[in-house]
Chain A
Amino acid sequence: MEPENRFLIAEENVFSGALSCRGCGWALLVRHLSSILGEDTIYVLPASCLSIISGPYPLNEIRGSIVHTLFAAAPATATGIRVALDRDGKKDITVAVLAGDGGTFDIGLQSMSGAATRNENILYICNNNGAYMNTGIQTSTATPYGAITTTSPLSHYKDMWPKDLMGIIAAHNVPYAATASLAFLNDMRTKIEKAKDIKGFRLLMVDGPCPPGHKTEPEASVSVARLAVESKVFPLFEVENQKYTVNYFPEIDVKARECLKLQGRFKHLFRNDSEDVLEQIQAFTDKNWQRLNELANNVGNA
């Protein structure tokens, strides 16, 4: 009996020699993404780790067209590319923005909101690693509560809750938005395939492991991502025209601290005097999970 081919990636569209750090989320994400989207995709990259990883001039890591654009302007640049392709009869070509959390939650938010409101036919992928990692781990509005970054140092660690970007994007009534995890590859690939076939503005928020930024071991990237989902710190869900669906219900109760304690950026919270902070994070996690399930049950059925 022939052994079953268990490789998810049938067509490898990323060349070897990419410049990512070991254990980088972008590296695994782009391999899966490009294997599904195909060679005729136009990727639009604002400033981000991926803009470096995917190759300095004249290299290109991905089989596909890459447009490196300005930090604040990826959705607007993609809008213009979309216009030109559509006018040229290339309506079926996918235009995909690949951005980090800085480019999505912060400097690119206005441009993304504009594109989402116009329901531009763009697939937007956010690799959310919770800080400006490309410039060396500075705080973004996606940085989790309690984390240390180079601009939220130990003496003043991040004491704000991250922005609910999925809520913001859902409020734009886009046809498709979903979260995805590199520890749940089948779920992620299904979502990429689904998003690929939908017309209009689509967004995938991917939890992005980052060993240098999260202070983790490279081999722990997928484990941390899995714990983020299992502990409900990063729930897997979809929002289709404001209708929420939760895709994964953890079977055992895993506390947020189990995910946090693998990451050096939260190390200071595991001292005796920070128990209250861990409890606040747990309460926030519980509240978000409850709210998500309320949204999933109620919105759309009213």
Chain B
Amino acid sequence: MANIVEVPSNKAKKEKEKVTTKYPRHTLKILKGNFAAAEGAKICKVGFIPAYPITPQTTIVEQLSSIVGQGKLDATYINMDSEHSVFAAAMGAAMAGERVFTATSGQGLFYSHEVLHAIAHFRLPIVICNVGRPSIPWNIWSDQTDSISQRDTGWIQYYGESSQEVLDDIIQGYVIAEKLDIPVMVVLDAFYQSHTSENVWVPDDDLVAEFLPAKTKTGNEIDPKNPRSFGGLVPTEQYESFNYQYWRDINQVEDLTDQIGKEFGEKFGRKYSAIEAINIGPKTEMILVTLSSITTTARGVIKNHPEVGLIKLRLFKPFPKKSVLNALKDVSEQAVIVNVDRNFLGDKEGAVMHEMKRALYGKSYKMYNVYTGLGGKDVPPSTIEKIIKKTNEDPEEVMWIDFE
């Protein structure tokens, strides 16, 4: 397994001590994002993995097939006939109480659309990874159009900035999903993350088990000893009550994300929250709003721009409005907000702009929108510099930065 490299044993002892004690009860590995995702599923002790290949997610299910085949994970692995069947099988197993994982991308996620709705509203705590790519014109590279176009299916969505975060999101994802009976989609960027190696601290199984115990039955599962009907036609008088219960629970996600992220930090040494506010304070004049790996690039660039802050949206759905407002509490409403969208929904504005406008309704921040990085186009520091410069000097409400 060339992708998993243990810390070399011939390093200076002192150096090794320093490295291996950064996070006790972890192993440092060099993993591509997809392999970090597979490790995440493995340490969460998932019991069922229905699988179907699609670029760029394929190596996740390949690696899991290898892990299960080698007996390193006691799971049932089935090669299904399509993503539609993958998600339907996931649904069936979760209805009977199994902890389920799978991964998909782009067309696979689009094809599963009706099942995504069913899983969310059957209230099944499934966690998946989606490695984002767009649709037509054909393209397999980094783009968030696929997952964002599924934002209204009822799934919680987290966007991981790093492979470490993807792995950590899977663990936290199961805790949150199983607490609320709402499924979680962990999204990572194609190739920039999925096929790029990073240092990833993989927690020991027993450490994960302390945070995420084996799945216990809630009493709502299919049970031959207690026959019931699941999913029958719901008459008009009762239908809303299901939506109402879901609505009450989905409203807890933002706070729960912060709470579980804090508890995760105490246990594993890496703390998470719904959003991350970077370099934001009373003197902030401009705020970039980003998802996933573009955030990392922007972190570097704003070091040269003390007046520019950054909001990283880790939780995207349900949209963390409270956290965004909190991040802006000391920021003058003269500041401008630049929403960076790596998705195209066929609208004038991208999804981040839509969501931020909804969140900041009633506030007078000037809001700008930038489309960039679509279809995997690289977003290097120079593009972020261009966004800041253009916004300062000659802004338009919606900008296609590379066409200016």
Does A81 touch B at the CB level, under 8 Å? yes
B233–A51 CB distance below 8 A: yes
Q: Which of A39, A64, A66 has the most CB of B within 10 A?
A: A66
Contact between chains at A56 and B48 (CB < 8 Å) = no
What B residues does A87 contact at CB under 8 A? 47-48, 76, 98
- Docked complex Cα distance between A166 and B228 (Å): 32
Does any Cβ of B come within 8 Å of A296's Cβ? no
Are B76 and A77 in contact, CB atoms less than 8 angstroms apart? Answer: no
Q: Verify A57–B85 contact, CB threshold 8 A.
A: no
Proximity string of chain A (58-80) to chain B, C-beta cutoff 8 Å, 1 when within and 0 when not: 11100111111110110111111
Q: List B67-94 residues whose CB lies under 8 Å from chain A.
A: 76, 78, 80-82, 84-86, 88-94
The answer to whether B85 and A111 touch across the interface, beta carbons within 8 angstroms, is: yes
Cβ-neighbour of A60 out of B89, B115, B228 (below 8 A)? B228
25 contacts between A and B (CB under 8 A): A55-B232, A56-B234, A58-B232, A59-B232, A65-B222, A65-B228, A66-B228, A68-B229, A69-B231, A70-B115, A76-B50, A76-B84, A77-B88, A79-B80, A80-B50, A80-B94, A83-B76, A83-B93, A83-B98, A85-B96, A85-B222, A87-B47, A88-B97, A110-B81, A111-B81
Say which residue of B89, B90, B222 sits within 8 Å of A42 (CB atoms).
B222
Say whether A156 faces chain B, with CB atoms less than 8 Å apart: no
Total number of B residues with any Cβ neighbor in A under 8 Å:
40
The docked-state distance in angstroms from the alpha carbon of A243 to that of B118 is 39
Task: Identify A73's interface contact among B93, B115, B228, B229, CB under 8 A.
Answer: B115
Q: What is the CA–CA distance of A79 and B50 in the complex, to the nearest angstrom?
A: 10
B137 an interface residue at 8 Å Cβ cutoff? no
Given A57-B233, A68-B230, A87-B76, A81 and B85 contact (CB-CB distance below 8 Å): no
A73 to B95, CA, bound (A): 14
Interface of chain B, main secondary structure: mixed
Q: Which residues of A contact B82 (CB under 8 A)?
A: 110-111, 114
- Do residues A77 and B89 form an inter-chain contact, with CB atoms below 8 A? yes
**A17 CA to B118 CA, complexed, in Å:** 28
How many angstroms from the CA of A64 to the CA of B223 in the assembled complex? 10
Beyond A66-B232, A70-B115, is A80–B89 a contact (Cβ under 8 Å)? yes
Q: Which of B94-141 contact A (CB under 8 A)?
A: 94-98, 100, 114-115, 118
B227 within 8 Å of A by Cβ? yes
